[in-house]
Amino acid sequence: MIALDDLITEQLLDTFLTSNSVEERRAAVQNLARTPLTDDTVFDHISYGLADSDAGIRDACAFALLHNSSAESNRKAQSIAPHILHHDIQLRNTAGELLIKLGRSSLEAITPYLQSENYDVRKYVCDIIGLIGTEDDATLVIPLLNDADTNTRYSAIETLGNLHSNQSAGLLMGMYAFEEDARPFLIEALGKIGGDTAANFLLSILRYETDLMAQMTIIDALSLCAGQTYLAQHLIGISAEMPAELQPHIIKSAQLIAERAGGVLTVDDAIRSIIRSCILHGDEDERNAALRAFQPYYSPDDIPALVHAYYHSAAEIRCAIASAVCHYCDGESASRFVHVLTMHKNCSIELLAEFLNYLCMDSNTIENEAATAITRDMVLYFSNISTDLLLDFQPMLSRISMHAFITVIDELLSSGNDTVICETLNVVAACGLREIEPHVRHLCTRNDSVGELAHGVLETLA
């Protein structure tokens, strides 16, 4: 007795194979996709439909083969695999896409095609294995390293990298000396395989490689696979020996490796000079990595590069720079930062307000040497522009370093310039700076307009 599902499947398959109506055939396949399929013949017929002249039927057949793809996936793959031999590139590509979507279940079906006399087929199957296989499948691919076809050998190298095949790392390193044209593929594969052995090998060939593109590829591979701080330190240590155009890339890669390893790079003066150049001339990613490599301290020579980064970075990076200047600079460096920042051609009151606001947002801001220098220089800068501007910024400046704010105000009252003194007295009154009262009281002894104003300020402070 024939089961109902089998009867329905038989009727649908008959319609698909014999009907003259495209619509009926397409509907039959769509219904087959919703029917439990277990018969190899059915899979074969649907697979043949991938070569149909009607695009709708081709799409319906592809859907039917992928529907509930985990069910009978090996048998589906067996029915699809022969299409990779087809001369029609579109059909072959469709078959490849389906096999990839069926995943590792396709391996048994496609493995025999690695022995095909057609090198395009061998390469194509190798590529698929690289996308669906695991490290355990490397043994299927390793023989292709000796394939007569160059592109098939390159595909095998790339696939072994995609499979993260540790067992093939030694073979790939051995090929480097003899397969010059294959070197880019070998480098990328070793980068994907990773491990200290591969990373040390890549570092060793970087120093002796003379081709710029090969050097770049090696650096990229190292940034991908190296996972030890000492490797990052070694990489940044040879940066001075490398071409200038590669140095920003080296700094970025070394910093990424160090961060992945949870370590911190040690940089001497020569490397700091390269880092500064990287900030000034590198792209955004290189600049940001170089900024992180600068920490945990900044010297006066670093300041122009830091200001450049401040003007060319996103808000998050600007905030980090402002905090770093306050926490990791000595007074001289912090003072120079403010000077370079205010003298920059793109400087604006809005940007300075942002800079001070970032410092105020930092809950760890303390009255250290840098905070004192920043406050002092900002007070002098704003006081030279207008008293009103100084009053606008007084809350932020006082929060960063109240001691520095009062000290500068006291110095301005001793400037000897009556105009400056009068303007500063107005600031003292407006801000209620009782700490300045002794100096104001001294100014009251003058028998001129300054003394008269000082009396008024003293009354305000009382």
Query: Is the per-residue pLDDT at 240 higher than 50?
Result: yes
Assigned domain for 83 exists: yes
Assigned domain for 3 exists: yes
Structure token digits, residue 136: 């355990």
Q: Of the residues 322, 354, 384, which one is the last residue of a structural domain?
A: 384
User: Which residue would you say has higher pLDDT here, 450 or 294?
Assistant: 450
User: Which residue would you say has higher pLDDT here, 157 or 43?
Assistant: 157
User: Which of 224, 152, 225, 212 has its CA nearest to residue 184?
Assistant: 212
Assigned domain for 270 exists: no
Confidence of residue 2 (pLDDT cuts 50, 70, 90): very low
Query: Is the per-residue pLDDT at 130 higher than 60?
Result: yes
Assigned domain for 456 exists: no
Distance CA 159, CA 164 (A): 9
User: Which residue would you say has higher pLDDT here, 252 or 358?
Assistant: 252
Query: Is the per-residue pLDDT at 90 higher than 90?
Result: yes
Classify residue 321 by burial, with Cβ atoms within 10 Å: 0-12, 13-18, 19+.
Answer: buried
Structure token digits, residue 278: 């990287």
Query: Is the per-residue pLDDT at 5 higher than 60?
Result: no
Task: Supply the pLDDT for residue 3.
Answer: 43
- Domain boundaries, position 309: 297-384
Q: Of the residues 341, 363, 384, which one is the last residue of a structural domain?
A: 384
Q: Of the residues 317, 350, 384, which one is the last residue of a structural domain?
A: 384
For the stretch 35-50, pLDDT in tens is 776 777 888 888 898 9
Q: pTM to 2 decimals?
A: 0.75
Query: Is the per-residue pLDDT at 388 higher than 50?
Result: yes
Assigned domain for 308 exists: yes
Assigned domain for 311 exists: yes
Count how many domains the chain has.
2
Task: Supply the pLDDT for residue 28.
Answer: 86
Mean pLDDT, to the nearest integer, of 100-120? 94
Q: Are 208 and 175 in contact (CB under 8 A)?
A: no
User: Which of 387, 386, 390, 453 has its CA nearest to residue 418?
Assistant: 453
Assigned domain for 292 exists: no
Assigned domain for 192 exists: no
Query: Is the per-residue pLDDT at 156 higher than 90?
Result: yes
Query: Is the per-residue pLDDT at 4 higher than 50?
Result: no
Query: Is the per-residue pLDDT at 222 higher than 80?
Result: yes
Query: Which CATH number covers residue 38?
Result: 1.25.10.10
